[in-house]
Structures are given as structure tokens and as C-alpha cells.
Amino acid sequence: MKQKIKYIILISLTVVSISFLEYTKNQKIKEIDNQIVSLKTPIHFLFNVQYMFNKAMLTQNKALKLQYIDTAEYFTNLIKNNSEIKKFLQREKIKISKNEDNPVKDSKELYEIIKNIAEKQYLNILNSLENLKKFKNIINQTFMMVDLSIIVLTVLLIILYENKRHKNHLEEASFKDYLTNTYNRRKFYEIASMLPNDKKHTLIMLDIDHFKQINDNYGHEKGDFVLKEVADIIRHNIRKNDYIFRWGGEEFIVLLKNTDIEGGMKVVEKLKEDIENHDFQGLKITSSFGICETNVINDNILQELDRALYESKRNGRNRITVA
């Protein structure tokens, strides 16, 4: 469940990141589109200048002529590099005032001026448009690569995490007894080697009494059930920082960290009582125990513990012997 939540969070972050990038990309493309529109606008202004001037030349009303030229000047002010047209319109105003205007000649002259300016501006616009289109393509490709990279990175992270989790699972499995879900001997020696030797620890070894008879009389499936139930009883009687190991067959070792023999005796007595009183699907089971206190775990200590367990069995079983 935790892995699923992690994946959901990771995928959600990926979706949010890509959405944000898409929004950013669209904003930039919108900016470029606005620039493209603005680049095309000056050509329209030139056409408006020409149109207003032609209207001025066609009317005989002097006041209306000047009004049309004022409008043409307004559009001229919206065009870059407009000085040539502006000078022409200023001259035309003077000529109109003096009744010296020549509609055909003046219109042709303005047409040539506008044509030259339009050609220059159009070339600039074409170059700018080409550059903007290239930039637009670059933005699209860049953001596409970034989106793809985020997706690939997300997939790689999931694969790496899954590989690590699988590796940890395999490593954990190599230290676990699959039946009882307790640690095995290999893990016992690893943990024992790391224990601080300036602290007292208690070791408990227990063996299920007459376990062979359970397998012989009721079958191995029943025997497996008893082993799992005993492991659960032990697990419920120790702390989270203590350890339980399946030592072999029907034997378990319990490691109580930073616990002296007095504290260990309380645990082992409770274990003995709980196992004895537990209903194993109609069966009553007992266990024999050996217990010792030590600050260093080695083969000598384990031998003493094993001897203590043997003493419990030799003296009638279902009892505790201190090594």
C-alpha cells in the first residue's frame, strides 16, 4: 500500500510538472503569435495612409482634404521609419493651403514612397517571421524533450525503486524463515556481532515439547501451524527492538536487548504460561526453555544456553533453566 501511495505521488508530481511546462510553453507561443500579428500590422497602417491620402486628393473641399491628411498622419505615427512619409504629408498640407496640389502626381509620389518603405518593412517582417517561427519550433521541441525527459525520469525512478525494493526483499528473504516469518541463524550471527558489549543482553532458547509426535500423529501441516502459532506468541511477548530467530526444527532463540536476567525471567515465564494455555486447534502444547544473561554472544554462550535447554527437557520438560 505504501508503495502504491509513493507511485501515485510520483506520477501526480510528474503530471503537475508537465502541465506547468505545457502552460508555460503555451504562454510563450502566445507571446510569439502576438509578435507575429504586431509585425504584420505596420503594412496595414501603410495601406491606411495611402487610402486616406487618396481620399484627400479626390475631394475638392480643402478642410476635408486637410482632415483626411491628418488621419493619414495618425496612421503614419504608428509606423516605424515614418519620417519620409511625414515630410511628404507636411508638404502636402502647405500645397493644399496654397491651392498647389496635384492629385495625380502627388498620389504617385506617395505611392512610390510607401512602396519603398513597405518593401523594406516587408523584408524585415519576413525575416522576423521566419525567426519567430523557428523560435516557436525550438520552444515546441524543447518543451517536448523536457516533457519526455520528465516521463522517462519518472519511469526510471519507479524501475530503480522497484529494483531496490526487490533487492531488499530478496536480501530480507535470505535472512528470514519463510514459514514463521522470523529471522534465521544467519541473521542471528549478524545481529550478535553488532551488539554493544558494554550492555547486558538476555538470550532465551526454547524447544517445543514432543514436536515429533505432533508431526507423526497429525501431519506436517499441523506441525507447521503449531510453529507459526508459537512464533506469534513469542512475537507478542517481546518488544519491537528485540529479536526472534528460528534456530532449527522446533527450536527458537529470543534476543532481549539491554535486558538483564531478572527482566528476561519475566518474559520467559510469560512465554511459558502463554504457550501452555494456548489452544492450538484442539491441541495443548508446552515448551522447554534455557535462559542466560551475557554481554558478548559467542559459541560458548550458545553451548551454555543449549545445555540449559537440555536440562529443562531432561528434568521433565515445560520448565525454565538458567544457564
Kind of pairing, strands 201-208 and 176-177?
A: unpaired
Contact 229, 280 (CB under 8 A): yes
Q: Which stretch of DSSP H or E encloses residue 182?
A: strand 182-183
- Written as nine digits, the cell of 123 is 523584408
The residues with which 206 forms a beta bridge, in sequence order, are 252, 289
Contact 232, 224 (CB under 8 A): no
Q: Which stretch of DSSP H or E encloses residue 233?
A: helix 220-237
CA distance 163 to 157: 10
Catalytic residue among 73, 92, 229, 250: 250
> Which residues are within 8 A (CB) of 167 and not within 5 positions of it... i.e. 6 or more apart?
none
**CB-facing half-sphere around the CA of 111: CA atoms within 13 A:** 8
The order of strands in the sheet holding 176-177 is: 176-177, 182-183, 243-248, 251-256, 201-208, 287-294, 320-322
Q: Which stretch of DSSP H or E encloses residue 136?
A: helix 103-174
Kindly report the length of the chain: 323
Q: With the CA atoms of 165, 169, 170 and 171 taken in that order, what torsion angle do they form, in degrees rounded to the nearest 10?
A: 100
Residue 248 φ/ψ region, left for φ over 0, alpha for ψ in the -120 to 50 degree band, beta for the rest: left
Helix 261-277 to helix 220-237 angle (10° resolution) is 140
311 is catalytic: no
CA distance 219 to 224: 9
Q: Annotated catalytic sites, by residue?
A: 250
